[in-house]
A and B are shown apart, each in its own frame.
Chain A
Amino acid sequence: MDTPPKTELTMAELRNAFEAQGYISDKELLTTVYLALKLEKPLLIEGAPGVGKTEIAKVLSKVFNTELIRLQCYEGLDENKALYEWNYQRQLIKIQMSKNSNCHELSEHDVFSTDYLMERPLLKAIMAEKRPVLLIDEIDKTDEEFEAFLFEILSDFQISIPELGTIMAKHIPIVVLTSNNDRELSEGLRRRCVYLYIDYPTIEKEINIIRSKIPEATEKLALQIATAVNYLRNNLTLNKQPSIAETLDWTRSLIAMHADHLDSTLVKQTMGLLLKHRDDLSAFHKNLGAEGLYAAVKQAADTVSGTCSNCHSGTSCGG
């Protein structure tokens, strides 16, 4: 049996739901998501790649047991690909068939009906029978014109199709917009959204994430991995800092190698999972090296384990 649809959640229920989905969050994040839901406003999430922005939309769709409609933005994305297109080929076939059959005169309404309308993500979200989660991913990759077009839709939640008229949203979708800050977004868009910035996690929070997503990781390994990644982020000048997703990939690969703790050989063998840029790898080998990282981790992990021994339970510590 399907989970009964949830339309209203209290803050506590939202926290529990996020935890149940394995998303380690803090109070600021939960309050912001909660407000976006309650105020029925789009949630604009910014932060470095891989900190869990898109994941929030996925978690929300699971929490509300609803469809996740994703609009992946890219340079050159236009209204046709985001909103709707007429199925030109089908319309032509219909016209040809009616010509051949001579049975009844074809009117304009016959070929401009919903049968020939190809819904793209925005129209799909507006016409959905159940309140969907609309994820507009990497909005900063689009043109300014598309952004302006988008925030008109996000304000009114209605679309005008000249041949069909105005279509109002049956349910105001839960809208999540993400941005990597490649381009400054317009004030108009920002003003219409509830804003959340997600930074790289603290060591304690990252330990929780590792333990929650990969229960096979031992406490010691999780602590060492989180410390190592944190050390790399804070002490090396990198083109691309390792994200949470990369931390998890690294953990999985270490577990696949039957590791229960880090050592310099393992670091050396697997650094390509964390640093994915040639310059970053050479900066790592030049300025720190596997031995250097292992020594730093050993020293830092000893301190952290002394101060945060209660953080390893797999639940959120609000870090």
Chain B
Amino acid sequence: MALKSLTDNIVGFVQILRQLGVRISIAETIDAVDSLTIIDTFDQDEFRAALKSTLVKNADDQVVFDRAFDLFFVPPETKQEQRTAWDSKKQLELEQSQQAQEELVFQGRPLDIPDDLKDVYKRLPEQEKQRLQEFLEKTSTGHNVKESFQPVVENLLKSSLSFWQRQLSPEDLAQLAAARRQLLGHNELDHVVESAAGLGGAGRNPLLHKNMQDIAEHEIPQVTALIKRLAHRLTTRISRRFRLTGRRKLIDIRQSIRRNMRYGGTMIGLKYKTKKIHKPNIIVICDVSASMTKYIRFTLPLLFGLSNVVKNIESFFFADDLEYVTIHFRRNNDFTQVTEDLLTCSSQMGQGTNLFIALTSLQEQYKRFISSSTLLFIISDANTLAPLETANQLASISKKVKRILWLNTLPKERWNQNSAISLFTKYCTMFECYSLAHLTKILSFNLTRQT
């Protein structure tokens, strides 16, 4: 189908934006088409502004919009060039897929490998590909190797490719995700979707989307300032939930009668009573085990930021046991000093992980902090010993606190590789949280309300 009219192009452009993660309703698409009848469509700036203001309702999405706009609304000759480049890229990808299909065989039969791992295989260095092919060759032709041996070979290959998948950088993962993106089946649109997605990075502030394990030393002050600002949102949200509106105010009969005695009992001035604002207590237990040390530049500013703006907060470190660290995060303390102190004094830093012991300590030694108004935050990648016992402890604590919120630094697509996560999510709400963008999103939810 060719995009002939302006409306066709707008609809196509909306499809592209949706594919890139921008939420656009039909009503907004109609608004965009309507807006074009009002402005001068030959003026590119007006045209861009009209589409932007009617289709994109979020500052962060504006970067995606600009990128897609610049790729989609181009002169016909540029469009032709883009199409040629896209066709040759698709041809190359097809050839690579065919080659991978031919190479990943066992005794001449194709192996059942998931597409995401096949994508990882295609990106492997030649030397590693060669090594895997030699392995397949040897196992295929080995003595007494029967057809039934194929699932074993498949599992070995999957493990090896999963290892390589874990070594990929966030940028590579994003590119792979873009490659696997469900395309629209329309050449003219698909090349924009893929090119715009492949440009990587997003948003007004690139720090927001950066994986916090890759944060540089010089970026820490910025991260800390951003987290402090984000943490402030948490405080305003917490108080908001518990304030009654005027409609729900209760008349204080006693006070009203007393006040209106001077008017002979006619109720001229009413007195109301409101519930006290009740802020929940927050407990944060933060994983500082060996697997989480790469996130310390994220978690420490997070604890510091929260402690600076939230009053009722208790902070703990954990690895193979629980360590009380609230005293380090006093208001107006110097962040660099706090970091230095914690890195040198903490007994938990870099140890193995046993969340079960940590939660047991929390229940036994610090039960004074646990109440029905407590929000318990766990910051961890969920790699722990004794997962079953940990889940039981979580179940027990979840009955005593308002809510357990788990901020998981592991990307969501890897959660299925850790069977413990499905156990834990029965008793807590788990969020993917390895960047400030994730944290922003989480703090924009109503965390005190059960969902």
Contacts and interface: CB of A to CB of B under 8 A. Distances in A.
Nearest to B60: A197
Given A11-B39, A182-B233, A194 B243 contact: no
B49 to A, nearest CB: 4
A28 B225 contact: no
A260 interface: no
A39 B59 contact: no
Given A31-B53, A237-B222, A78 B239 contact: no
Given A27-B46, A182-B236, A76 B53 contact: no
Interface in B222-252: 222, 225, 228-229, 233, 236-237, 239-240, 243, 245-247
B199 interface: no
Contacts of B267: 92
A81 B246 CA distance: 8
A306 to B, nearest CB: 26
A151 B444 CA distance: 19
A143 B245 contact: yes
Contacts of A92: 266-268
A143 B244 CA distance: 10
Interface stretch (A183-191, A216-224, A266-274): A183-191
B411 interface: no
A44 B23 CA distance: 17
A203 to B, nearest CB: 18
Interface stretch (B25-33, B73-81, B108-116, B377-385): B25-33
Interface in B242-271: 243, 245-247, 266-270
A185 to B, nearest CB: 9
A44 B229 CA distance: 22
B45 interface: yes
B59 A46 contact: yes
A237 B54 contact: no
Given A27-B45, A238-B225, A195 B245 contact: no
Nearest to A89: B268
A79 interface: yes
B207 to A, nearest CB: 11
A79 B245 contact: yes
A211 to B, nearest CB: 23
B54 A35 contact: yes
A195 B31 contact: no
A181 B28 contact: no
B49 A28 contact: yes
Contacts of A2: none
A16 interface: no
B53 A195 contact: yes
A235 to B, nearest CB: 11
B50 interface: yes
Contact of B39 (A34, A46, A183): A34
Contacts of A38: 35, 38
A183 B268 contact: no
Contacts of B237: 183
A312 interface: no
B23 A187 contact: yes
Contacts of B243: 75-76, 143
A143 B240 contact: yes
Interface string A31-46: 1101110110100101
Contact of B221 (A79, A96, A183, A237): A237
Per CB-CB distance, the 3 closest pairs between chain A and chain B, nearest first, are A184-B444, A78-B245, A31-B49
21 contacts: A28-B49, A31-B39, A31-B46, A35-B39, A35-B50, A41-B31, A75-B239, A78-B246, A79-B246, A79-B247, A81-B246, A93-B268, A143-B245, A145-B245, A183-B233, A184-B444, A187-B57, A191-B27, A191-B28, A194-B54, A197-B59
Interface of A: 11, 27-28, 31-32, 34-36, 38-39, 41, 44, 46, 75-76, 78-81, 88-89, 92-93, 96, 143-146, 181-184, 187, 190-191, 193-197, 199, 237-239
Interface of B: 23, 25, 27-28, 31, 34-35, 38-40, 45-46, 48-50, 52-54, 56-59, 62, 204, 221-222, 225, 228-229, 233, 236-237, 239-240, 243, 245-247, 266-270, 441, 444-446
Given A11-B39, A80-B245, A184-B445, 10 more contacts: A31-B39, A31-B50, A81-B246, A89-B269, A92-B268, A143-B245, A146-B245, A184-B444, A237-B221, A239-B225
